[in-house]
Amino acid sequence: MIAVGTISQALLYFFFATLIGSFILSVVPNTHRPGISEPKSALMIACGGIAIFSFFPVWQLVLYLAPDIGLAQTMQSVLFTFEVGKAWIFTYFLANVLFIYVIWFDYRNKPLYAYVGLALTFIMILAIGWSSHASSYDRVWGFFSHTMHFTAVSVWVGILFVVSWFSKDHINWSNFLKWFTPVAIICLVMTIISGFILMTWVVEFKEYTNSWMLPYGQILLIKHLLIIPLLVYAMINGLFIKKKLKKDAQFNPRPWAKVESSIILLIFSATAAMGQQSPPHETNVSYGEVSKLFTFIYQGQFQPGMNVELGFSPTGFTLIVLAVLFIGLVIFSFIKKAPAIMSFFLSVFTVLCVYLSIILSIN
């Protein structure tokens, strides 16, 4: 069930990003973006996916409550009395409306139609934010921070995904970067700010290292470490490629944009996996609840109630140096025109080295 939940929520985030990216690029003039050949079927699949996968949190709650009052009564109660159920009904209705809208209206050639599609998608994001865990902790700030976080990431990865995977060429890429680079920076800042706000409800800053002993904390740590290669690719795509295109108009930047979008999709997956775990403030660290990954790598003897503190470790220091070398190789691979997929694996090794360095440096 955890694996199914992780996959379904990751796909949900991806489908929202696809819709937002498609509609935003449809309102951008042709002179400021590459030619896009995204079929309508991609948006239709995204609408259907949102309608289906947004139901999974409802189904989880139904399965949890059903043993006490029965499946049928539980389903009725969850759908019509719980916020998560009412939000899904609303989302399901709008997803179907948007599905029909995409079929009937030519949003790719008329910006007004794209604006309407963007508005409908954002309303569905509001519904998701209203029923989120953060909103249950604080109705105003939880709703606002979750919505801002979800929207910022969706805009960033949506535009990047559509333009890198569905563009027919890389004409006008320099003009595309002129407006997308500041948009990506704004989205990154919004994501970081809202991410810190969201984290305060599940992990106190002083307990952040202690949370690494739990499955939730392990995934949170990996998610944060994935930001390292993301920033490297953002620098490559936003700065280096812009200079490269001035010197070589034939250079194809799409593979590097694809790698950056893939890193963000990994962060999506980590976010989805976190949603399937109990937050640290709801969990007492014990032998039965500690992360198996943590106990497998941690070199010391685990004891319930222990505090996680970082110290100097020769092995940890060596791994950090190795991670820096991998980052340098990522940049070097771009300079030497190596296949972008090679740099992706170098990024994975970077995250792995930093992760092992942190865990192996725990006192």
What pLDDT score does 241 carry? 86
CA–CA separation, 307 and 285 (whole Å):
11
Q: Averaged over 16-35, what is the pLDDT?
A: 92
Cβ neighbours of residue 302 closer than 8 Å, sequence gap 6 or more: 213, 287, 290, 294, 295
Question: Which of 77-81, 271-275, 302-306, 354-358 has the weakest average pLDDT?
Answer: 302-306
SS3 for 36? strand
What pLDDT score does 125 carry? 94
SS3 for 362? strand
Please determine, for residue 294, whether its predicted confidence score (pLDDT) is greater than 90.
Answer: no
Through-space distance between the first and last CA atoms of the chain, rounded to whole angstroms: 34
Q: Decide: 129 and 147 in contact? Cβ < 8 Å.
A: yes
CA–CA separation, 306 and 302 (whole Å):
7
Q: Decide: 11 and 48 in contact? Cβ < 8 Å.
A: no
Q: What is the pLDDT of residues 150-166, one digit of tens each?
A: 999 999 999 999 998 88
Q: Decide: 203 and 213 in contact? Cβ < 8 Å.
A: no
Summary mean pLDDT of the chain: 86
Q: Averaged over 72-93, what is the pLDDT?
A: 89
Q: What is the pLDDT of residues 104-134, one digit of tens each?
A: 988 888 889 999 999 999 999 999 988 877 7
What pLDDT score does 43 carry? 93
What pLDDT score does 285 carry? 56
Please determine, for residue 169, whether its predicted confidence score (pLDDT) is greater than 90.
Answer: no
Query: Residue 75 class from Cβ within 10 Å (0-12 exposed, 13-18 middle, 19+ buried)?
Result: middle
CA–CA separation, 307 and 363 (whole Å):
9
CA–CA separation, 96 and 100 (whole Å):
6
